[in-house]
Amino acid sequence: MNRQSRFSQFLESRNLRSTAGRRVMLQEISALGERHFSAEDLVARFRRRGRAVSRATVYRTLEHLLAGGLVRRLSLGHKHSLYESNLGRRHHEHLICLRCGEVTEFGSGTLERLLDGVCRRRRFVAQRLSIQLFGMCARCAEEGRAKRN
C-alpha cells in the first residue's frame, strides 16, 4: 500500500477528515524521503512555497501521524524534536551531532540481538526501540581539534 492510501485509511480509522492541509502535509513528508525534519522545517517549507498550512495543522497532524506509526520522532531534549517518515524504512538508530545538528543513521543486528536477550531474560515486552547517541560528528570533532592546536 502506498503512503497516500495508508494515510487516508488512517484518517478514516480515527474519524478525521482528509483535509487539504493534511494531504499537503503527507505529500511534503513523502518528498522529504529519508531526511529528518522538525515541525518548524515543515512550517518554513510551506511558507516559502505559499501553501496555506497553519502551524497548528502541522503540529496536530504530526501527532496523528506519530500515533499511527507513519512517522517516527527523535526527541533531542528541550522540547526539540525531529521527525522522519516511517514507511518502508528498516529500523535504525541515530547519531546526533550537538554542534552542527547532523543526524546519521546506523543499524546493528548485534545490538538488536543483545536487546532482545535483555528483554527475554526480564520478560519485558518492548514496543519501541530508540537509541540516540549525542556527541560530535567527525567533521566537528576535527574542527575542534584544529582550533585547540
Residue 37 DSSP class:
B
Element (H, E) at 97: strand 93-97
Cell of 144: 575542534
Length of the chain as a residue count: 149
Which one, 50 or 109, has the nearer CB to Zn ion? 109
Type of residue numbered 92: H
Binding mask 54-73 for Zn ion (x = CB under 5 A): --------------------
Q: How many residues of this chain bind Zn ion (CB under 5 A)?
A: 8
Binding mask 120-149 for Zn ion (x = CB under 5 A): -----------------x--x---------
CB of 100 to Zn ion, least distance (A): 3
CB neighbours of residue 47 within 10 Å? 12
CB of 149 to Zn ion, least distance (A): 18
Based on the shown chain and the rule CB under 5 A, indicate whether residue 84 belongs to the binding site for Zn ion: yes
Alpha helices in the chain (DSSP H): 3-13, 20-31, 39-48, 55-67, 109-122, 138-148
Based on the shown chain and the rule CB under 5 A, indicate whether residue 99 belongs to the binding site for Zn ion: yes
Among residues 100, 114, 119, 126, the one that binds Zn ion under rule CB under 5 A: 100
Among residues 40, 105, 116, 142, the one that binds Zn ion under rule CB under 5 A: 105
85 contacts 30 by C-beta, under 8 angstroms: yes
Residue that has been written with the C-alpha cell 518528498 in this structure:
31
Q: Which residues bind Zn ion (CB under 5 A)?
A: 84, 97, 99-100, 102, 105, 137, 140
